[in-house]
Homo-oligomer: A and B are copies of this chain.
Amino acid sequence: MIKTPYLLFLGDAPDRLAAKVAQGIKDWRPELCVGQLRLEGCNADMGLPDLTIEEAVAKGARTMVIGVANRGGYISDSWRSVLRQALEAGLDLASGLHNLLREEQDLVLTADQHGRSLIDVRVPSVRYPIANGVRRNGKRCLAVGTDCSVGKMYTAMCMEREMRERGMKATFRATGQTGILITGNGVPLDAVIADFMAGSIEWLTPDNDEDHWDLIEGQGSLYHASYSGVTLALIHGGQPDALILCHEPTREHMRGLPDYQQPSLEELRDTALIMARVVNPDVKVVGISINTQHMGEEDAKAYCEEVEARMALPTVDPYRHGAGRLVEALDS
């Protein structure tokens, strides 16, 4: 668990994209953000108050989250002094960077001296169990994709927000670094040891109220040769009651695999159902989420309508059109 609320560290982000993690936290958990800290040369802006570390502490911040990808994979000197100051002022540090905070000796020393934590969300901090496959109370929805990076996290986030607005019990369950930094907890599934993958997802989505929904962040794809094992562990550990199929129509090949084509939505539906029924015979595919970010308004609408007619399932881009129809489909 990462202590909240956050001060978002944007560093010297050259552009908005470099501060993608901060943007995600601001978009999905604005209530957790007391402000932002920007260094000279920063071209990103979350529209939050610019605070010094002291001001952030005074406003109640508990953790400074590194919301920016650093250049070249190392922590620059200009960052380093600010990170140390944050620890000295009583903040924990949380990061999804490839180079780990815990491997920076000066940060480890400063954190120790001040009783603060360095949280590298790329590394699991829990000893997960082996999955036992026992049925749990409560409901679970999982987004599965024709490919990696087709909008599975945003789909689950949009659904959680819509459900909470409707007064439903819903919890987004993060399984990746960005999701963990956004919500403050979760399982960094791609970094879990093979034997414990499914068990980590059982741990993440425990028994709950009968009318509570976990919205589980998907990872990879059953059809992605590099990461399919992670996806299947997620299906079997998650025991989903409902599946949402996610698709990005403009992709020319599987992400990172130029020789591989995406499966059709029909293939994904059939295969995901075969695999999910192993752990939950009542599982259903309830809707389809299309990532239309590279399409114009008319094309996006026409594409969703075409898919909806073909697949006979509610089909929307939840980020563009709202997640209402997907949420309503959960009860179908």
- A231 cross-chain contacts in B, Cβ below 8 A: 229, 232
Complex: A131 Cα to B259 Cα, angstroms: 13
Interface string of A223-235 (1 = CB under 8 A from B): 1011111111110
- This chain's copy number in the assembly: 2
Interface string of A204-242 (1 = CB under 8 A from B): 000000000000000000110111111111101100000
Complex: A90 Cα to B277 Cα, angstroms: 54
- Nearest chain B residue, comparing its CB with the CB of A190: B195
Question: Given A225-B198, A230-B229, A233-B228, is A257 in contact with B193 using a C-beta cutoff of 8 Å?
Answer: no
Asked if A309 is an interface residue, CB under 8 A from chain B, the answer is no
Asked if A278 is an interface residue, CB under 8 A from chain B, the answer is yes
Question: Given A222-B275, A229-B229, A233-B228, is A260 in contact with B133 using a C-beta cutoff of 8 Å?
Answer: yes
Complex: A219 Cα to B205 Cα, angstroms: 26
CB-CB contacts below 8 Å: A250-302 with B: 254, 256-257, 259-260, 263, 271, 274-275, 278-279
A224 to chain B, nearest CB (A): 8
Asked if A130 is an interface residue, CB under 8 A from chain B, the answer is yes
- A275 cross-chain contacts in B, Cβ below 8 A: 222, 228, 271
Asked if A53 is an interface residue, CB under 8 A from chain B, the answer is no
Asked if A199 is an interface residue, CB under 8 A from chain B, the answer is yes
* Residue pair A192, B194 in contact (C-beta under 8 Å): yes
Asked if A113 is an interface residue, CB under 8 A from chain B, the answer is no
A206 to chain B, nearest CB (A): 16
Question: Given A222-B275, A271-B274, A275-B222, is A194 in contact with B230 using a C-beta cutoff of 8 Å?
Answer: yes
26 residue pairs bridging A and B, Cβ less than 8 Å apart: A130-B226, A131-B225, A132-B226, A133-B226, A133-B257, A133-B259, A134-B259, A190-B195, A193-B193, A193-B194, A194-B197, A195-B227, A197-B229, A197-B230, A198-B225, A198-B228, A222-B232, A225-B237, A226-B236, A228-B232, A229-B229, A229-B230, A229-B236, A231-B232, A232-B232, A271-B274
- Given A133-B225, A232-B232, A260-B278: 4 more A-B contacts, CB < 8 Å: A192-B194, A194-B194, A194-B230, A229-B236
